[in-house]
Chains A and B, each alone.
Chain A
Amino acid sequence: MTKSPGITLKGQHRVGDRVLFNADLNIAGGQWTCILGRSGVGKSTILRLILGLETGGTFSGSFVASDAMPLTGRISYMAQSDLLLPWLSVLNNVCIGAHLRGKVPDIKYARDLLHRVGLSGHADQKPATLSGGMRQRVALARTLFEDRAIVFLDEPFSALDAGTRAEMQELAADVLQDRTVLLVTHDPAEAARLAHQITVISAQATQNWPVPETTPLRGINAPETLLCQGKLLQYLRGGAA
């Protein structure tokens, strides 16, 4: 893979007359950037904006990749809901991107990815037979199948139980290494473990939050993780005052 580009976004997003957010965001290439903020502050809107999806508002400003190439077609996307297609096998769900582009899928590659997320034994099963955590692993494999330099994750682990979530964070940190990752989350612990950079967003401004000096992935109970997590939570509870 060529070096993963960074993204700079600067501008204001409005929904009707209301300003949703003023953003000045610097997403470093090849690293994990976590966006934190309270519900309704427009965290997901930033992802949708850059992905070119419907946002229900208007954005005035710009977002560009650090290599000055267009961003379309270089970002893969994973949401909170696994969005698996119930009628397709796990393997075909991983390959769905190829089907949707009218290409012949690389089955061997898909099987390798399933192996990496620990689901090689489940390739021919239907999603209905899998647990929530396993389904999200399939979604992760599907995201990897797209093999894109930039990966947007929109609260992908928030519906999982705590133990499964920690496992998924470790798996994602491993398989998405060296890619530019933008993770939207409302969980300070998740940001403290995974982020190279943390951005806290509110209606007024975006704020770069100091991250621990150690490199991710940080241990669940490492002192620096807990300290960062605690401070973030305190800040978020107090609102953006």
Chain B
Amino acid sequence: MRPGDILLALLIGLGIWQALVVVTDAPHFILPSPWRVALAAYKSRVIIIENAWVTATEVMLGLLIGTLFGVATAIQLAMSKTAERLMLPILVFTQAVPVFALAPLLTLWFGYGMGSKIMMAVLIIYFPVTSAFHDGLMRIDSGYRDLSVSMNAGKWKFMRHIQIPNALPSLGTGLRLAAVYAPIGAVIGEWVGASKGLGYLMLLANGRAKIDLMFASLIVLACLTVILHIAVGIIANRLTRYAQGTSINHTP
């Protein structure tokens, strides 16, 4: 993605939006024009930034905690056959429960504050991170195992020096997915019950027929997600380049 292309796509998007407003002649409380939304965003900038900050914090903490748990679980699964046999079915089963359905419960348990939203994000990314990383840990050339046995390597040393570095690109793949899911988790948590955050602000604006503010919040949320996506993409690329030993000569 070149900056020029992004700018062009943005302009086209805005053009279509404006055209829709003109052609359908929709009232501003159904579909506000881009200009109206921009104005609303500017007027409510303080409240938007405050709430965006809350959502961003929830998402980041959710990502961090979820990744830590996911990585620890994947290593545990790869280290122990028993753990793998017992835990994999449980993991798959928990995936069958829609995490969204748990949102009211999480609010009940962890309260109206950030806690329940972070938990929501953690739960939603835990499985993708675990399964991607576990996959990477297990997908290893059996020659490395043979070599390690001939070198009298312990199981944990093999994990630390060979299996984990070898699985970093897979972890990157898991993180990319997580970056898309985590904001969804946080916002759904906010919809179910919150007094802060972009999800809350959207509901609030909707309730007061301030559709322009709702659009502004939505756009800020999208921007946050895109920034997160790009940042995590950079991290994932670095992990891959490190594992391939190509981090010095900068290949895109």
- Residue numbers of A with Cβ under 8 A of B are 48, 51-53, 72-73, 75-77, 79, 81, 83, 85-88, 96-97, 99-102, 126-129, 146, 152
Known: A85-B162, A87-B165, A99-B161. A48 touches B148 (CB 8 A): no
Q: Is the CB of B245 within 8 A of A87?
A: yes
Q: Is the CB of A102 within 8 A of B245?
A: no
Mask, B153-182, CB within 8 Å of A = 1, is: 110011001100110000000000000000
Q: Is the CB of B161 within 8 A of A100?
A: yes
Q: Which of B138-146, B194-202, B211-219, B223-231 is near enough to bind chain A? A: B138-146
Q: Which of chain B's residues has its CB closest to A126's CB?
A: B245
Q: Which of A52, A96, A101, A146 contacts B149 (CB 8 A)?
A: A52
Q: Which of B141, B151, B243, B245 contacts A81 (CB 8 A)?
A: B141
Q: Is the CB of A128 within 8 A of B151?
A: no
- Tell yes or no: B44 within 8 A of A by CB: no
Q: Could you list some 16 contacts between A and B, CB below 8 A?
A: A51-B150, A53-B149, A81-B143, A83-B141, A83-B147, A85-B161, A86-B243, A86-B244, A86-B245, A86-B246, A87-B243, A87-B244, A100-B158, A101-B157, A126-B248, A128-B246
A125 to chain B, nearest CB (A): 9
In the bound complex, CA of A48 to CA of B68 (Å): 38
- Residue numbers of B with Cβ under 8 A of A are 141, 143-144, 146-154, 157-158, 161-162, 165-166, 242-246, 248-249
Q: Which of A72, A76, A88 contacts B245 (CB 8 A)?
A: A88
Q: Is the CB of B245 within 8 A of A77?
A: no
Known: A85-B165, A128-B246. A100 touches B157 (CB 8 A): yes
Residue numbers in A under 8 Å from B245 (CB-CB): 86-88, 126-128
Q: Which of B143, B149, B153, B243 contacts A79 (CB 8 A)?
A: B143
Q: Which of A72, A77, A88, A102 contacts B147 (CB 8 A)?
A: A77
In the bound complex, CA of A99 to CA of B152 (Å): 11
Q: Is the CB of B152 within 8 A of A102?
A: no
Residue numbers in B under 8 Å from A146 (CB-CB): 151
Q: Which of chain B's residues has its CB closest to A88's CB?
A: B245
Q: Is the CB of B244 within 8 A of A99?
A: no
Known: A83-B141, A83-B143, A85-B162. A100 touches B244 (CB 8 A): no
Q: Which of chain B's residues has its CB closest to A79's CB?
A: B143
Given contacts A87-B165, A100-B152, A100-B161, 9 further A-B contacts (CB under 8 A): A48-B146, A75-B150, A76-B151, A85-B161, A86-B246, A96-B151, A100-B151, A101-B154, A126-B248
